Amino acid sequence: MDKFKLWLEFEEVDPDKWQKDNDFCNIHVTMEDGRHYGINVWTYNFLTVALQSNKQARNNLNGLYLIPPDLFVEELTRDCIEKTISDLLKIGNLEEVLNPSVISKNTD
């Protein structure tokens, strides 16, 4: 299994303000081989909030569409995200299994 390190925005930036089951955050995944990924993560519940906010702000043709995150998870916890990333890596490289907005770069 691939080894990786996680940086989780909800642990580093005002940790007491996050709603673990209804929020969004950014994460960074650094692979042992130097690949690095920046991933935008939403909880399932946050989709409803994002849709309502989009309509109220009259964005994206008054809420006709919504640009999704890179990844949806049940909750914003280290355990949930570690398990998710581990499982995705069993399927393939993150740049192949997640949507194309995930950025991968080698650091030689």
Amino acid 39: pLDDT: 95
Instruction: Extract the tokens encoding 100.
Output: 């194309």
The pLDDT tens digits of the residues spanning 55-78 come to 999 999 998 999 889 999 999 999
Instruction: Extract the tokens encoding 53.
Output: 């906010």
DSSP calls for 16-78: GG--TTS-EEEEEEEETTS-EEEEEEEEHHHHHHHHHHHHHTTHHHHHT-----SEEES---H
> Are 23 and 76 spatial neighbours (Cβ–Cβ below 8 Å)?
yes
Indicate if the pLDDT at residue 25 is higher than 90.
yes
Q: What is the pTM of this model?
A: 0.84
Q: What's the mean pLDDT when you consider all of the chain?
A: 90
| Angstrom distances, CA of residue 3 to CA of 6, 25, 78, 94 | 10, 22, 15, 13
Count Cβ atoms below 10 Å from residue 26 Cβ, excluding itself. 16
Radius of gyration of the chain (CA): 15
